[in-house]
Amino acid sequence: MPHLPATGPWLADPLHRTLERLRTSVEEGKATTWLASTTAHTIVALLQQADPTPRTSTRDTEMLQAIAQHLDEWQANPKNVEAWKYGAGPRFRAVVLQKATRPTILSVRGGPFDLHHTPPQSAEPGEEEQPAEPS
């Protein structure tokens, strides 16, 4: 997609360094690479402008549209959800999604979803593992 660096989102937030970090992470076998939320917004905007490939499915397009809609709703808060009641994190975002006028394939499943999962810690040698407490 050589035309993407000339698009508005890329010009506003160039991704050269991010792409290099991602390449390095893959080469080093890292399981996780953190991205800034502004970078995530840029990536979604770029994906929306990219031409579909033969492997792009309708579900891929629906998912991208849902993610973009949620990012916009969380930023614009069109139903004026009082953030002070819920904080700025997942509880606030969940309420914004519940009140969305156009539910998406993600919001009907009860999102937002935590995409970061810390692997369970193993017990020290000689200790029994304790079951994780529900959160």
- Alpha carbon distance 51, 4 (integer Å): 10
At residue 27 the predicted structure's pLDDT band, cuts being 50, 70 and 90, is very high
Q: Give the whole-angstrom CA distance, residue 98 versus residue 118.
A: 27
Distance CA 24, CA 46 (A): 21
The pTM is what? 0.62
Distance CA 68, CA 48 (A): 8
For residue 27, give both structure tokens: 């080469």
Check pLDDT > 50 for residue 135: no
Distance (Å, whole) CA 23 – CA 29? 10
Q: What is the pLDDT of residues 38-50, one digit of tens each?
A: 888 888 888 888 7
Closest CA to 105 of 61, 72, 73, 41: 61
Name the band, by pLDDT with cuts 50, 70 and 90, for residue 7.
low
pLDDT digits (tens, 9 = 90+) for 69-111: 888 888 888 899 998 898 878 888 888 888 888 888 877 777 6
**Arithmetic mean of pLDDT over the chain:** 77
Query: Cis ω on the peptide bond leading into residue 112 (within 30° of 0)?
Result: yes
**What is the distance, to the nearest Å, from the Cα of residue 106 to the centroid of all Cα atoms in its chain?**
12
